[in-house]
Structure 1
């Protein structure tokens, strides 16, 4: 095969690969959201909640809808937690709506009740669990680091 033919094949291959990459990018890039009063108001609907091992969660606003923040409500059964203490680069807020929460932050624990906010600084080890005899209901507010 002549060098010119090899170059032509290589160019065509690069063009095809580039086109496929662009199609993949289009498929994975979210379309631009048009915000309206109807999609900016979100009433809790248990039928749209996601069942978890320890209760359920409901996303009022997720990273695919908002510019950078998420808002989720978690409901955790008595004596359980959504996951073990952990850390991540995003700061996070919890707001206790109902029940009793055990809040762990960097080696210390406190029990709190409704109308209490809890702040987790970036990279701090933290966790929350249900310390009561009824369901724990709380909001999770987090900035999405895209």
Structure 2
């Protein structure tokens, strides 16, 4: 068999193996991410929440279950914030459920209560803190690009 014919056979075999590997991977991913009514409904349970330094957080949906979208509820004690103002590539949307929040965006602040949303564009410095005398409870929605 000529050298060029051997190369063609080898490349063909490699391509077939790659295709089979990709098909196996797709089947594995599909089996792992089988969505059912039971795992697509998530009711808040305090005992499943994660304690933080300033309160706690509860992931309704994380990027490993969804297609990189996240939905988290944060509860922050009076006078505290989850972290200092920061920025990141992902845009975020906050929705205030309870309490009084101070929202910082690009050098300016606003204070608002329940049924208010705050939008953070990509790479803009932002932060949220509890300026009330009760717990601040809010949702954080973003698509995780990491």
TM-score normalised by the chain length of structure 2:
0.78
1:38 alignment partner in structure 2: 38
Aligned-partner Cα distance in 2 for 1:64–1:49: 17
Aligned-partner Cα distance in 1 for 2:61–2:73: 10
1:1-146 correspondence to structure 2 within 5 Å: 32-146=32-146
- Report how many aligned residue pairs link the two structures: 119
Aligned-partner Cα distance in 2 for 1:123–1:32: 33
Q: CA RMSD in A?
A: 1.6
TM-score normalised by the chain length of structure 1:
0.78
CA deviations 1:81-106 (Å, max 9, x no partner) are 00000000000000000000000000
Query: Which SS does the other structure have where 2:32 is aligned?
Result: coil
Aligned-partner Cα distance in 1 for 2:74–2:99: 12
Q: CA deviation at 1:136?
A: 0.0
Aligned-partner Cα distance in 2 for 1:48–1:117: 25
Aligned-partner Cα distance in 2 for 1:111–1:81: 14
Q: CA deviation at 1:46?
A: 0.3
Which stretches of structure 1, 4 residues or more, deviate above 6 A after TM superposition?
A: none
Give the gaps of 5 or more residues in structure 2: 1-24
Query: Which SS does the other structure have where 2:38 is aligned?
Result: helix
2:17 alignment partner in structure 1: none
Q: CA deviation at 1:68?
A: 1.9
Query: Which SS does the other structure have where 1:39 is aligned?
Result: helix
CA deviations 1:38-65 (Å, max 9, x no partner) are 0000000000000000000000000110
Aligned-partner Cα distance in 1 for 2:138–2:40: 21
